[in-house]
Structure 1
Amino acid sequence: MSATSGSEIPPGPPQEAAASGGDAADRARAALERIGAPAALAGPLVAALGPGAAAELSADPWRLLAVGGVTPEQADYCARRALGDDASPDDPRRGRALAAHRLHRAAREGHTALEERRLASELRSAGVRSVDAALTAALDGGDAVLFEMFDEPDEPEDFDGDPGEMPDPDRWYAPARLGRGEQALGEGLNRLSSASEPIMDSATASETVEAVAERMGAAVDPRTAAALVTVALRGICVLTHGAGAGTAIAHTVACAAAVAADSDTGMALAAPTAQAAAELDEALAGLGVDPGVRAVPLAALLETRAPGVRDRGAGNPLDAGLVVVAGAMWLDVEHAAALVGACADGTHLVLLADPAQAPSAAPGSVVADLLASRTVHVAALPEDADAGPLARTAARVADGDPEEVGSPGREVVFVPADSASAAAHRAVQLITDSIPRALEIPPEQVQIVTAVRGGEAGADALNAACKERFNPGPGAYSGMDAGDRVLLVADGPGYAAGDVGYLRADAGGEGGGGATGGADAALAVELPGGELCPVGDSAHLRPGWAVTVAAAHGGRWPAVVAVFPPETRVSRPQVYTALTTARRHLSVVQAAGPALAQGVRDNAALERTTRLVQVLREG
């Protein structure tokens, strides 16, 4: 590509192409070079299109849009290089690629589907004149799936004998895998609802709760007891709670375990990440709950082997009649569908969720859709009477009130900064010096959570600064070294996306890892509690001293430094989610100025376009 082209594709990291290896990557490199695209995109192209990527790209240069980060302008540039005057803006291949690109861009923003009129409008704005042909090509090529749905009126219309004409259905397009996953999730939830029978009658469930409370020497709140009766009676329950409901959550899990044991039903307990599971186990141990009741990461519960590959499913369902998932706002469509698919008919599913949190990092709005559908049973758990400053601060944010609360023990500290660079300096200072010195919380228990990934105070820059301070090295394993704190960005055996731990490596020869760790490198991540999980693919790893709010969703740490740089697009759920990742101490580095308070007051929700409510109501 010429150096003056504004649509050139910047070269990707060399290790991506090297990591893919094999003939498929070599052929892809050659195909990319023929159309003027960087050879370094070979790895991502093969990952997106499979071993036939080179042939697909040669036949259709717009297939380059399947690689994340490539823009339509860049793909058009390559198409003109490949096709010359035959590169028409209305080429059906371009329309197909743009339709898929728009759908995947929407998915990255959390949406699971787009209504036809919106998608058509976006395609016309991109110069596609034959929108119908473009959408048909996307469907025929397997890039998208179409769902037709009829709106159900809130009130039944009077019937006078003339049914009239059928209304036109709403038409929704979705990326194929995501659309089918959301459909399966809705149908699976309806299956559990219709197939359920009570585990216990209400009187016996109440007696069980009373007996557990007596054994624990605790007073179980009547609202918690009522919620547990609902759990025993109903197939699907969403138990909502706030930031200060730790006691109620622990009591709920302890009593639910007793209900499952007394009814010979059996219970499985899961949390989003290893950190969250360890915290829940600690709370249960404090209540003297049977150590056999243990929380595990959802990926472990479903016996995950690789992203999207799990041993638990319809053919090998969970052997528990009561499945409880804490931190359920973390659930996206794919994970929720896998969970429901692994529940046999008659299983009772309980989701513990804080609705004030942001929706999942991946597409979907599962818990919010369940609540909106009014097809499942909902109960609210009470807040602790002695909720501390952390919970009170979060509760105020949930109500749209950004004002600080009293924090005599320095549980919550606001640190002003007048620029992104100043925010980055303060964040690193807090994790390396201030918090360990003043609060005796070691750096390895302090997590930086930032609102953005790029920029001077984003996750990438903060990770670079922390690595230089804590574990400088050559970056032997895809830019990381043994001893680095790392974030897992995909599910695998024993770990889940969102887990944070420390990289351990046993290379066949020291220094033999090279840019990607080498074939002899055995990488593993040490998770909270000391469990060592092998990680076969270094693409699952990212530096983890600093993580974005989305990546932190589902995680919990003793101390958190929450960073809001000047460029933050502030919303109430985003701020609330960042605050609720801290267990003992929270430092808020505030460089967003008045925008932080305004966002908390005015931007009350992160809206997502999904189909789950309609699927649930269809029954």
Structure 2
Amino acid sequence: MSEAPIAAGSGGGGPAERTRAVLARMGAPEALAEPLVAALGPGAPTELTADPWRLLELPHVTLEQADYCARRALGDATASPDDPRRGRAVVARLLHRASREGHTAIEERRLARAMRSMGIASPEPAMTAALDGGEVMAFEVVPDDDPFGEGGEVAEMPDPERFYGLARVGLAEQDLGEGLARLSGTSEPLMDSATAAETVEATAERLGVEVAPETAAALVTVALRGVCVLPHGAGARGAGVVARVLACAADIAAGSEVGVALAAPTAQSAAGLNAQLAALGTGAATAEVVPLGRLLECRGPGVFGRGTERPIEAGLVIVTDAMALDVEHAAALVEACADATHLVLLADPAEAPSAGPGQVVADLVASGTVAVAQLPAGAEPDPLAELAARVAVGELGEVSAPGREVVAIPAGSGSEAAHRALQLITDSIPRALGVPAEETQIVAATRGGEAGTDALNAACKARFNAGPGAHNGVDPGDRVLLAADGPGYTAGDIGYLREVGDGGLAVELPDGTSAPVADPAHLRPGWAVTVAAAHGGHWPAVIAVFGPETRGSRPQVYTAATRALRHLSIVHAAGPALAQAVRETPSISRHTRLVPILREG
């Protein structure tokens, strides 16, 4: 944003024209007018005149730039650092940043410290102004302290701790906890334990497969308990353990005459599981796995056709790859489950938490309020599963890979890492392993830097589908990432952009369906995606890229490594720092409220 004043716009009656005039008076680029009208609505010029810090509704506008514009608009004496309007905007900016980092709520003292670092000497009035604006909510949580004091006497109830969060995220987390308690409280066993065990045994015999005792015990738990988490390791999907669980659970639902719904986070993950089920020869009893957004009949961000008034028509609902669930999607899922529905989440707890806010599976397990039944590992682990198992316990080293299932490629710089990745996807992997570029996914640790997704996507686009990037940086023929929910697709889906009749656009998804693009702003280049965006996806070949600026963690490296089904190339310019991150950073910390909500019932 320029420090020099910009000439006033030419006037006019439309919101964008009037907003341009307001921006010009405060020395801000007039190009911000359309984004501000989109963010604030047709009242943008009036709101901006009354509160210049509304500029911070745009993520790329900095606080320093907004302060400059406020001084131009209001005068130096009025535009003070402790102005409540500024405080409200700062609180919202901090909570939006926290949400992007996965937190659902921030403790009041921590939030106050961050505000003081941004020049707000008195945080309390700013927090009050933020609450009055409606975008932010406050929540009180009673610490889970020892109820007995010295000598075994009952201790006094501790004072509640106060948390702040974005209203939509905080309400979703509250609704999720209450909805899970509702399912647990209303459920009845689908079968008695003996009948469930017999059903699992009959299914295994019909399919001609062996079901491990741990798997059979987990399926009995599914039949008995209203909400279950089934943790598993990296090899469970590739070894067919997950597919067998789905087949047996579908037979339990059929025998109980309650119906079953099977879902995965993305169309790509659903297509892979359906292929495994078809290979088992499961027959008509097993339902098709569908993307979660399709099960919930997603119509747009936060808008679903399924819900309280129109629940999912199944008494047993199972979601795989559940580490990808954030609190908002999990809350929508639970809301769409009618009373007495059995909900089952299959998840690999060593993976990183979801791209969106929350850590649903980890909090469910930590709460001790739902059933948890561990699934076994597969048979003899292949090199990919062996590497994942080592990373899960903090080791990053070579594994024996006679079929070149795992290849490590060190690089001396970010640019060299990017060059190696492009070489792998365009030549080495298709030529040496027979996996085409269309079935190979680049997963990078960061967006920025010479080896980040932005640079890698630019290089891949130039190589595979050069064009002007007419639709938010992409063109028909590009591999694209869908960055938000829409009709027929879910955030995290990756497919190919196609042009349809009358100049319309649609994304061809990996399960063979075609989803019309409701909003081109949802499109992102998808040749390379971040680890967070790759959640819920699995590809025949994956190129995991770690640039020199990577500040990784064990879950991040584990998640990147476990996206591959047949081959993994690890290209890294992070040196010994990558192994150090795997060894010394065993988890990704997030501040959430789901555990106390669940324990309060």
Classify the TM-score, shorter chain: over 0.9
Residues 560 and 585 of structure 1 are in contact (CA less than 8 Å); yes or no, is this contact kept in structure 2? yes
Q: Which residue of 2 aligns with 1:137?
A: 129
Distance 1:96 1:322 in 2: 44
**What TM-score results when the alignment is normalised by the length of structure 2?**
0.95
Q: Which residue of 1 aligns with 2:9?
A: none
Residues 51 and 85 of structure 2 are in contact (CA less than 8 Å); yes or no, is this contact kept in structure 1? yes
Q: Which residue of 2 aligns with 1:106?
A: 98
Question: Which is further off, 560-569 or 68-77?
Answer: 68-77
Give the one of 205, 211, 221 matched to 1:220: 211
Question: Which is further off, 117-126 or 539-548?
Answer: 117-126
Code of the residue aligned with 2:66 in structure 1: it is A
Q: Which residue of 2 aligns with 1:70?
A: 61
How far off its partner does 1:69 sit?
2.3
Give the one of 502, 512, 518 matched to 2:496: 502
Q: Deviations over 1:261-296 (max 9, x none)?
A: 010010100001011001111111111112551111
Distance 2:144 2:421 in 1: 51
Q: Secondary structure at the match of 2:533?
A: helix
Distance 1:64 1:370 in 2: 38
Code of the residue aligned with 2:106 in structure 1: it is L
1:541-556 to structure 2, matched below 5 A, reads 541-556=523-538
**Runs of 5+ unmatched residues, structure 2:** 7-12
Distance 2:150 2:579 in 1: 49
Question: Which is further off, 151-160 or 61-70?
Answer: 151-160
Residues 440 and 541 of structure 2 are in contact (CA less than 8 Å); yes or no, is this contact kept in structure 1? yes
The answer as to 2:505 corresponding to 1:523 is: yes
Q: Secondary structure at the match of 2:66?
A: helix
Gap change, CA 1:293 and 1:2, over 3 Å in 2: closer
The answer as to 2:265 corresponding to 1:272 is: yes
Q: Which residue of 1 aligns with 2:10?
A: none
Distance 1:160 1:68 in 2: 53
Q: Which residue of 1 aligns with 2:145?
A: 153
Q: Which residue of 2 aligns with 1:488?
A: 482
How far off its partner does 1:479 sit?
2.5
The answer as to 2:75 corresponding to 1:93 is: no
The answer as to 2:76 corresponding to 1:81 is: no
Residues 227 and 342 of structure 2 are in contact (CA less than 8 Å); yes or no, is this contact kept in structure 1? yes
Q: Secondary structure at the match of 2:541?
A: strand
Q: Which residue of 2 aligns with 1:601?
A: 583
Residues 482 and 505 of structure 1 are in contact (CA less than 8 Å); yes or no, is this contact kept in structure 2? yes
1:168-207 to structure 2, matched below 5 A, reads 168-207=159-198
The answer as to 2:514 corresponding to 1:532 is: yes
Residues 421 and 442 of structure 2 are in contact (CA less than 8 Å); yes or no, is this contact kept in structure 1? yes
Question: Which is further off, 126-135 or 209-218?
Answer: 126-135
Q: Which residue of 2 aligns with 1:411?
A: 405
The answer as to 2:31 corresponding to 1:40 is: yes
Q: Report the count of equivalent residues.
A: 591
Residues 230 and 346 of structure 2 are in contact (CA less than 8 Å); yes or no, is this contact kept in structure 1? yes
Distance 2:598 2:35 in 1: 36
Q: Secondary structure at the match of 2:549?
A: coil
Q: Secondary structure at the match of 2:412?
A: coil
Residues 4 and 27 of structure 2 are in contact (CA less than 8 Å); yes or no, is this contact kept in structure 1? no
Q: Secondary structure at the match of 2:566?
A: strand
How far off its partner does 1:165 sit?
5.9
1:322-471 to structure 2, matched below 5 A, reads 322-471=316-465
Distance 1:58 1:494 in 2: 40
Q: Deviations over 1:427-448 (max 9, x none)?
A: 0000000000001111111111
Distance 1:101 1:57 in 2: 17
Give the one of 250, 271, 274 matched to 1:281: 274
Q: Secondary structure at the match of 1:592?
A: coil
Q: State, as a whole percentage, how many aligned pairs show the same letter.
A: 67
Q: Deviations over 1:295-330 (max 9, x none)?
A: 111000000011111100111111101000000000
Q: Deviations over 1:492-543 (max 9, x none)?
A: 12211111111101363xxxxxxxxxxxx31100111321111021101011
Code of the residue aligned with 2:426 in structure 1: it is T
Q: Which residue of 2 aligns with 1:14?
A: none
Residues 522 and 536 of structure 1 are in contact (CA less than 8 Å); yes or no, is this contact kept in structure 2? no
Gap change, CA 1:192 and 1:461, over 3 Å in 2: same
Question: Which is further off, 414-423 or 149-158?
Answer: 149-158
How far off its partner does 1:77 sit?
1.2
**Runs of 5+ unmatched residues, structure 1:** 9-21, 509-520
Residues 417 and 590 of structure 1 are in contact (CA less than 8 Å); yes or no, is this contact kept in structure 2? yes
Q: Secondary structure at the match of 1:197?
A: coil
Q: Deviations over 1:352-384 (max 9, x none)?
A: 000000000011111111111111110111111
Q: Secondary structure at the match of 1:245?
A: helix
Q: Secondary structure at the match of 1:551?
A: coil
Gap change, CA 1:3 and 1:74, over 3 Å in 2: closer
How far off its partner does 1:142 sit?
0.7
Q: Deviations over 1:462-491 (max 9, x none)?
A: 111111111112223232211111111011
Distance 1:457 1:228 in 2: 44
Residues 111 and 364 of structure 1 are in contact (CA less than 8 Å); yes or no, is this contact kept in structure 2? yes
Q: Which residue of 1 aligns with 2:222?
A: 231
Residues 112 and 174 of structure 1 are in contact (CA less than 8 Å); yes or no, is this contact kept in structure 2? yes
Code of the residue aligned with 2:402 in structure 1: it is P
Q: Which residue of 2 aligns with 1:577?
A: 559
Distance 1:138 1:599 in 2: 37
